[in-house]
Amino acid sequence: MRHEARHPHHYQGFAATQWKLFERTDELKPALYTLRVLLTGIHLMSTGQVQADLRHLWPGHGLPYVPELIEAKQCAEHGRLNGIVTPQALSADVERLRGELQEAFDSTHLPEAPDRAAVNSFVIETRRESAAYFG
């Protein structure tokens, strides 16, 4: 099994948990988490970069209702879809994104294992920069 296999499974699992919560509660928060998690995974597999801000992730994925969902969520912590998108359309989009995540994983160019020396250098350099900034 390839090492990066952990990534799509992590994203698929978290998305499934959030989707089940949405199905029980009909609240915006788990619906938005589901979309964010799937799109973050797709972005990681496609670019090698972690981007978890849904405002930057939704364009290009056929989800024109996302800004309105985000706005509704900001207005009410436990808000509902309220006709912004139907549950059926949202469900279809979630299923489509699950497939896109799998396709992105299947075609990813991420290495099978991390470059531990590069990670170590990154951590050391980040700590030095932090020490210089706060010291």
| Residue owning tokens 């209702």 | 65
Contact 17, 39 (CB under 8 A): no
State how far the Cα of 56 lies from the Cα of 51, in Å rounded to an integer.
8
Give the pLDDT mean for 113-131: 81
Burial class from Cβ neighbours inside 10 Å (0-12, 13-18, 19+) for residue 108 reads: middle
Q: Which of 17-21, 82-86, 108-112, 124-128 shows the lowest mean pLDDT across its residues? A: 108-112
pLDDT in tens, 13-41: 999 999 999 999 999 999 999 999 999 99
Neighbour tally for 37: CB within 10 Å: 24
Contact 133, 78 (CB under 8 A): no
